[in-house]
Chains A and B, each alone.
Chain A
């Protein structure tokens, strides 16, 4: 019975990993940007939701999308202020060393952002972990066979799945979605057919940071919210992205479920202290055996 429960929890947390990982993989695929501050947008999403709940009142599951939009706006602002000039330099870049130098700059800039945001959260909201109040956490759903979980978890899972399906449809069927995919494949060719790639970069940044924030907002009522919560998540988000193939959206979604499930079962069989190792071991195996990710298509 415990096995079934762990599988269920693994799938639920896997959906959330998917939402976080998809955002990270998108900006890598489109802008070649490895965002080490991705976890901080997740953290900001949780704190924005908390602030909206205390200011406006209402259920966090309704206010989380609002928080996601606000964080997405922050993402666009950062993109315009910090990264835009780098994309222009990247277009001129020639040779492996120039690309390496750009990667380094992106990574250091986002590390700087991450340090800054963590301290900002510490100053604004304090170091003590808080939990976003929601009546839904008290509704316990009982399934036949002794399985039980809170309604909040179920809703978080449903929201995660709906978001992933919605994102997939957006990328697949809308004009903007096609433009995003075209820019990921070949930015100069996309420009030639009239795509404004800097606008696409803004939209991608908005989606990426917004998705991370949404994940933070819907997990806020279930887990604790604290300034360094993003740091605990970012490494795992990268594991999901690498396992799925960097830049591969579907790969990331599948990898999210895979890692969530593997962690849950790993915790059951190996003990909770080695639960965290499982994800990294999977990543190392994937990097060794199949560096382009489980579905392929990732860039080496």
Chain B
């Protein structure tokens, strides 16, 4: 039904094996590099999940941080108030993010282009205001400190960065592998047909609204799970993770990386996070450079970092 052959699975699996081999030794480089890589991976999954909406389905969302935050808060509150194990809580957080995805996705089915962008922006702001104002539940702007870490399995304590790194690595590779399979499947092709021409897709009998809802459910689920992992890793969250600025940060990873490619957003997450770290000493001018970079990439390389890499590879081959 999904239309994925065994050949496709074996073909794309090899990339993930290479990635796994390359990423296994990262913790040897020390705590700081491990920490940055963990955050890059969590952002990479969030940006790649947004790509399903923005790149594949042609649905521009400016509120993705809200779903990340819903996942983070759900898992945190379940663990702290009801003692639910974070291993289960993170998954429930993903489902909760999907429920919020439905709340945004269904009423906005008819909206296109900038209209959806602005209504998702409004939705993000509402979630942010809820997290700030429902202080009996979320402690408001103070945020929630002291979130329990992932429970230990046998001798492995996930409070250590190295142990958590491998959890994040497994999560990242599996998530992006699943999203990759999705784009190769029949569903992926239907989503792309909606992006190319919604009316044409309708006229050949595609249930466009249903598949738009699928896209929202999938994208928000992975954002929610990333959020849950983030909460149990940093062990402190605040409404800051759901601001418009965060949503824009995630969207710029997806678009600067190269949307509609899945691997592009992963590159975008890596490059933008590294840039943030490198520019840390130029604190004042950081966003000046960051804004300039977005403008230059969009102006001269609208296919993003992925496009630039392909361009260089082609030149090298010649």
- Give the B-binding residues of A (Cβ under 8 A): 28, 34, 82, 95-97, 99-101, 103-105, 107-109, 111-120, 122-123, 231, 235, 238-239, 242, 246, 273-274, 276-277, 280-281, 283-284, 287-288, 291, 300
Say which one of B10-18, B209-217, B284-292 lies at the interface with A: B284-292
| Cross-chain pairs A/B with CB under 8 angstroms, 19 sampled | A96-B199, A97-B195, A103-B113, A107-B117, A108-B298, A109-B295, A109-B298, A112-B293, A112-B298, A114-B291, A115-B287, A116-B288, A122-B287, A231-B244, A235-B244, A273-B132, A287-B108, A287-B111, A300-B112
- Asked whether, in the complex, the Cβ of A111 is within 8 Å of the Cβ of B252, the reply is yes
Given known A105-B302, A108-B298, A112-B295, contact A95–B122 (CB-CB < 8 A): no
Given A107-B114, A111-B252, A300-B115, A97 and B288 touching (CB < 8 A)?
no
Chain A, interface SS category: helix
Q: Which of the residues B58, B129, B199 comes within 8 Å of A276, measured between beta carbons?
A: B129
Provide the bound-state CA to CA distance between A283 and B115, in Å: 11
Contact present for A104 and B255 (CB under 8 Å) = yes
Count the B residues whose beta carbon is within 8 Å of the partner chain — how many?
A: 49
CB-nearest residue of chain A to B243: A231
Collect the chain B residues with CB atoms within 8 Å of residue A281's CB.
126
Whether A103 pairs with B288 at a CB distance below 8 angstroms is no
Asked if B185 CB lies within 8 Å of chain A CBs, one says no
Query: Chain B residues with Cβ under 8 A from A287's Cβ?
Result: 107-108, 111, 115, 119
**Which of A107, A118, A235, A273 is close to B122, meaning CB atoms less than 8 Å apart?**
A235
Residues of B within 8 A of A28 (CB): 114
- Tell me whether A276 and B288 are in contact (CB under 8 A): no
Known: A100-B195, A119-B288, A287-B107. A238 touches B295 (CB 8 A): no
B residues whose Cβ falls under 8 Å from a Cβ of A: 54, 58, 60, 107-108, 110-115, 117-119, 121-123, 125-126, 129, 132-133, 195-199, 244-245, 248, 251-252, 255-256, 259, 284-288, 290-295, 298-299, 302
Residues on the A chain within 8 Å of B122, using CB: 235, 238-239, 280, 283-284
Closest A residue, CB atoms, query B118: A238
A284 CA to B104 CA, complexed, in Å: 10
A112 contacts B291, CB within 8 Å? Answer: yes
Q: Which residues on the A side are within 8 Å of B256 (C-beta)?
A: 108
- Please name all residues of chain B whose beta carbon is closer than 8 Å to the beta carbon of A280 when the two chains form the complex: 122-123, 125-126
Q: Is B291 a contact of A119 with CB atoms below 8 Å? A: yes
Q: CB-CB < 8 A to A238: which residues of B?
A: 118, 121-122
Known contacts: A108-B255, A235-B125, A287-B119. The answer to whether A103 contacts B295 by CB under 8 A is: no
How near does chain A come to B216, taking the closest CB pair, in angstroms? 16
Name 11 extra pairs, CB < 8 A, besides A101-B302, A108-B256, A115-B291: A107-B60, A107-B114, A112-B294, A112-B298, A114-B291, A117-B291, A118-B287, A238-B122, A274-B133, A284-B122, A287-B107
Set of chain A residues within 8 Å of B115, measured between Cβ atoms: 242, 246, 287, 291, 300
Which 9 interchain pairs have the tightest Cβ spacing?
A: A116-B291, A112-B294, A115-B291, A119-B287, A112-B295, A34-B114, A280-B122, A119-B288, A103-B113
Contact, CB under 8 Å: B133 / A95: no
Please give, as numbers and ranges, the residues of chain B lying within 8 Å of A242 by CB-CB distance: 115, 118-119
Taking a contact as CB atoms under 8 Å apart, the answer to whether B287 and A97 are in contact is no
For residue B132, which residues in chain A have a CB less than 8 angstroms away from its CB? 273
**Residues of the B chain whose Cβ atoms lie less than 8 Å from the Cβ of A114:** 291
Q: Note all chain B residues with C-beta closer than 8 A to A283.
A: 118-119, 122
Q: Which of A100, A113, A231 has the largest count of B CB atoms less than 10 A from its CB?
A: A100
* Chain A residue with Cβ nearest B110: A291
**A291 contacts B111, CB within 8 Å?**
yes
**A294 vs chain B, min Cβ distance (A):** 15
How far, in whole Å, are A101 and B197 apart by their CA atoms in the complex? 12
Contacts of A111 in B (CB 8 A): 248, 251-252, 294
In the bound complex, CA of A101 to CA of B112 (Å): 12
